[in-house]
Amino acid sequence: MLSNVSKKVKVHNFSAGPGILPEEVLQEAAEACINFDNLNLSLLEISHRSKNYEKVMEEARQLVLDHFEVSADEYDVIYLGGGASLQFAMVPYNFLKNKAAYVNTGVWASKAIKEAKLLGNVDVVASSEDKKFGYIPKNFQVGNDYDYLHITSNNTIYGTQYKTFPKVNVPLVCDMSSDIFSRKIDAKQFSLIYAGAQKNMGPAGATMIMIRKDFLEKSKTGLLTMLDYKTHIKAGSMFNTPPVFPVYVVMLTLRWLKKMGGVSAIEKINEEKARLLYAEIDRNSMFEGTVIAKEDRSNMNVCFRLKNEALESEFDKLWKEANISGIRGHRDVGGYRASLYNALPIESVKVLVEVMQEFERKFA
């Protein structure tokens, strides 16, 4: 029995990443660590080539197609180690032949640009660096002669998010690490989507990559085996030992999402959570949002700060007393950041809003 490892106190976990996972997923994962599939063996001590694990990998790949509403005829799905950061290198390594276009919307986008520049010609076709990444660039032009355009759908550190995606005539590549499966999108506009699992779809250690088959055909040849997408796709994401346990927990999380009603159901809850918190930030005389363009504010990472930063320790005391965790802003930005990932219940947002109201009553 695992009842002795259950959580003793309800903590409202707003961590930006690794982020909150559903309680039932954690319970099932904990059980699989001891006795997986009634094999009387731990998932951590069986072969990734066993029938039982092959089913896990199969389902983890299929659930991505299901949630994106695309078919295995059009797209391949793989899971790799190395984080989203390895994809900053693998995307240009596989697809940058002539030149690539990038949009710079923050720290992660900048890191992707840095890697691509090491491998070929890169044009930054739009950037919001001029205003501390406080908005999403719009209406920029991308010529037809680029191998691809790379964007970051949600900027985890600055709290901005594309609400619509650029319409371009070149393959669209997207880092969706921090808002994958948080809202309904038309996945078919993308040629490649990647996401480190630890923000919104599982634990750290696995990165999901979904690639359109006709885009894959354009990839370069003569690549290093392990860094070639084709290697992993041909082998069903089992060329070498995959991140066995992280992929299993991703599978459980995507199953949970299906049980919740899927992406369109979770989107409604996510919108309500974000609406509640932004409404309080805008109403409360003690706080201000840090994103300049309100229409670009992220529904996943809500960034705000105190108008009087000298009161930070007082505010910190209040939210810690309410069992809130993980709302300190990124070290580059400061202030506060509440991450509202899929697994965060709306009750946690209500607790944070109450704390903000109490803070105003006490210190305004």
Ligand X SMILES: *Cc1c(COP(=O)(O)O)cnc(C)c1O
Pick out residues in 238-297 that bind ligand X (CB under 6 A). none
Residue 282 bears catalytic tag: no
138 alpha carbon, distance to own chain's centre = 22
Residue 156 is a binding residue for ligand X (CB under 6 A): yes
Residue 191 is a binding residue for ligand X (CB under 6 A): no
Q: How far is the CB of 332 from ligand X (least distance, A)?
A: 13
Choose, by CB under 6 A, the member of 13, 127, 178, 342 that binds ligand X: 178
Residue 199 bears catalytic tag: yes
Choose, by CB under 6 A, the member of 77, 84, 168, 201 that binds ligand X: 84
Site string for ligand X, 198-227 (x = CB under 6 A): -x----------------------------
The three-class DSSP label of residue 314 is helix
Cα separation, 251 vs 14, in Å, equals 22
The C-alpha angle with vertex 206 and arms to 205 and 207, in degrees rounded to 5, equals: 130
Residue 17 is a binding residue for ligand X (CB under 6 A): yes
Task: Tell the burial category of 6 from Cβ atoms under 10 Å away from its Cβ (0-12, 13-18, 19+).
Answer: exposed
Whether 222 and 173 have beta carbons less than 8 Å apart is answered as: no
Q: How far is the CB of 333 from ligand X (least distance, A)?
A: 13
Cα separation, 7 vs 21, in Å, equals 13
The C-alpha angle with vertex 149 and arms to 145 and 155, in degrees rounded to 5, equals: 160
Whether 255 and 63 have beta carbons less than 8 Å apart is answered as: yes
Q: How far is the CB of 151 from ligand X (least distance, A)?
A: 10
Q: How far is the CB of 113 from ligand X (least distance, A)?
A: 12
Q: Which of 76, 147, 179, 199 is catalytic?
A: 199
Residue whose Cβ sits closest to ligand X: 83
Residue 218 CB coordination number (10 Å): 14
Residue 329 is a binding residue for ligand X (CB under 6 A): no
Residue 104 is a binding residue for ligand X (CB under 6 A): no
* Residues within the interface to ligand X (CB under 6 A): 17, 83-85, 108, 152, 156, 175, 177-178, 196, 199
